[in-house]
Amino acid sequence: MSQPPQAQQRIDELEMRIAFLEDTIDGLNDQVSTLSQEFLLAKQAMQLMHRKLEQLQQNPSAGEAMADEPPPPHY
């Protein structure tokens, strides 16, 4: 039993749309994965800075010792 030409055309259009949507989902998945990795790195950096800030608050003289250093030559 053969399908009417309109039905076959509609099936072809739906298959193309599905292929496009699958490609879009794959691209978005890649972007989410990349952003997730970047977020994790940023979170780790923030945690490190937080620990260093806590250390400076507990021992303010350590921060003063760093401030006494001369500035680098490019300043």
In a domain, 10, yes or no: yes
In a domain, 72, yes or no: no
pLDDT value of residue 16 = 98
In a domain, 45, yes or no: yes
In a domain, 70, yes or no: no
In a domain, 29, yes or no: yes
Measured between alpha carbons, how far is 53 from 42 in angstroms, rounded to an integer? 16
Measured between alpha carbons, how far is 12 from 29 in angstroms, rounded to an integer? 26
Of 5 and 3, the structure prediction assigns the larger pLDDT to 5
pLDDT value of residue 72 = 78
In a domain, 53, yes or no: yes
The number of domains in the chain is 1
Q: How far is CA 23 from CA 18, 26, 72, in A?
A: 9, 5, 50
In a domain, 68, yes or no: no
Range of the domain at 24: 5-60
| pLDDT one-digit tens code per residue, 24-73 | 999 999 999 999 999 999 999 999 999 999 999 898 776 665 666 777 78
Measured between alpha carbons, how far is 19 from 73 in angstroms, rounded to an integer? 58
pLDDT value of residue 62 = 64
